[in-house]
C-alpha cells in the first residue's frame, strides 16, 4: 500500500494571499516508521520526550510558540529545512505531490476542491504507472484532521462514487482518512511540503521548495507531481510548468498526462 499524506498552506478566503496550496508525501507503508524515527531525532534536542514536539511549519517559521520562540530566525528556518531534508533523503519510492492554486484565476471555484481533485487524480495516475511497471500496490490518502475539515470531508465522502472531474479513481482504496497531526509525523512532513510550495508561489521564496524539488513525482521528463494552476502559465519557470513546456506540450494541463 502507498499512503499519500496531505496538508494545506494558505487560507482560501484570505484576499492578502494569492495562493492556496495542498501538498504532501507518498510513502510505501513499510517506510512510515523510518520517517517517524527521523523526525523524533530532530525533536530530541528540544524535549526529552521527542513525541511531544510537533513540527508545524508556519509556527516554526514565525517562532510563535515553545520551543521555537527561543531560536534565532536562521535556526528556526534550519529546522524547517531539516524536516524537508528527511523527505528529500527518503527511500527511492518516496514521491512528493503538491498543487498550487492561483485563487484569482478561478474566481468561481473552491480552491480546496480544485487542489484535492487535482492531487487525487495525480496520485491515481502514479499508481497506474507503478502497476504498468509490475507493482500492484493500491493507494490510500491521509489528511490532517484540521485541513479544511468541512469541505474536504464532504469531498472525501463523495469522491469514491463520483470520481473526479478528470475521470474515476481506480487505484485508490477506500475513502481518505483524517488523523491528528500531533499523532502523525508523516502529516507533519506533508505540512512542511505544503508550506514550502506556498512560500515559492505566494512569496517567491524558493529556498524550501529547492530542497524537495527532485522528489516530485516525475516520468518522461515531466514533473507530474507539481501542479501549478494559473490562468496564464506561458512564461512560468516553476519546475511543473517548465517541464511540460520542455516536453513540447505533450502534457497540456491534464494531470497524469
> Given the complex with Zn ion, which of 125 and 243 has the nearer CB atom?
243
Q: At closest approach, how far in Å is the CB of 228 from Zn ion?
A: 3
Nearer to Zn ion, 63 or 228 (CB): 228
In the complex with Zn ion, the residue whose CB is nearer, 23 or 139, is 23
C-beta of 240: minimal distance to Zn ion in Å? 5
Smallest gap from Cβ 83 to Zn ion, in A, equals 24
Residue closer to Zn ion, measured from CB, 56 or 122: 122
Residues 197-256 binding Zn ion (CB under 5 A) are 228, 236, 238, 241
> Distance between CA atoms of 32 and 58, rounded to whole angstroms?
23
**Shortest distance, CB of residue 17 to Zn ion, whole angstroms?**
17
Cα 65–chain centre separation: 24
Spatial separation of the C-alpha atoms in residues 60 and 46, rounded to whole Å: 13
Chain-centroid distance of CA 144 in Å reads 11
Binding of Zn ion by 102 (CB under 5 A): no
**185/230 with CB nearer Zn ion:** 230
Q: Please, are residues 8 and 194 in contact by the beta-carbon 8 Å criterion?
A: yes
For CA atoms 237, 201, 99, 235, the dihedral sign is negative
Position 80 contacts Zn ion (CB under 5 A): no
Please say whether the beta carbons of 205 and 199 come within 8 A: yes
Count of chain residues binding Zn ion (CB under 5 A): 4
Q: To the nearest whole angstrom, how small is the minimum distance from the Cβ of residue 30 to Zn ion? A: 34
222, 94 contact by CB (below 8 A)? no
What's the count of helices (H) and strands (E) in the chain, helices before strands?
A: 8, 6
The residue ranges that bind Zn ion (CB under 5 A) are: 228, 236, 238, 241
Amino acid at each position: 500500500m502507498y499512503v499519500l499524506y496531505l496538508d494545506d498552506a494558505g487560507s482560501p478566503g484570505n484576499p492578502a494571499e494569492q495562493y492556496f496550496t495542498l501538498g504532501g508525501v507518498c510513502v510505501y507503508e513499510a517506510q512510515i516508521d523510518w520517517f517517524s524515527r527521523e523526525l523524533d531525532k530532530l525533536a530530541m534536542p528540544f524535549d526529552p520526550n521527542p513525541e511531544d514536539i510537533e513540527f508545524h511549519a508556519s509556527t516554526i517559521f514565525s517562532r510563535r510558540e515553545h520551543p521555537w520562540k527561543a531560536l534565532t530566525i536562521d535556526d528556526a528556518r534550519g529546522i524547517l529545512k531539516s524536516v524537508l531534508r528527511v523527505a528529500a533523503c527518503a527511500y527511492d519510492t518516496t514521491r512528493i505531490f503538491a498543487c498550487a492554486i492561483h485563487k484569482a484565476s478561478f474566481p468561481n471555484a473552491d480552491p480546496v476542491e480544485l487542489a484535492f481533485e487535482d492531487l487525487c487524480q495525480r496520485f491515481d495516475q502514479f499508481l497506474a504507472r507503478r502497476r504498468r511497471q509490475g507493482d500492484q500496490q493500491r493507494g490510500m490518502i491521509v489528511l490532517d484532521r484540521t485541513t479544511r475539515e468541512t469541505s474536504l470531508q464532504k469531498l472525501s465522502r463523495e469522491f469514491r462514487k463520483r470520481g473526479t472531474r478528470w475521470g474515476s479513481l481506480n487505484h485508490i482504496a477506500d475513502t481518505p482518512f483524517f488523523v491528528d497531526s500531533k499523532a502523525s509525523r508523516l502529516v507533519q512532513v506533508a505540512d512542511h511540503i505544503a508550506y514550502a510550495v506556498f512560500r515559492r508561489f505566494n512569496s517567491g521564496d524558493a529556498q524550501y521548495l529547492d530542497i524537495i524539488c527532485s522528489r516530485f513525482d516525475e516520468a518522461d521528463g515531466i514533473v507530474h507531481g507539481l501542479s501549478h494552476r494559473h490562468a496564464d502559465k506561458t512564461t512560468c519557470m516553476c519546475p511543473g510548468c517548465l517541464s511540460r513546456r520542455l516536453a513540447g506540450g505533450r502534457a497540456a494541463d491534464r494531470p497524469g498526462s
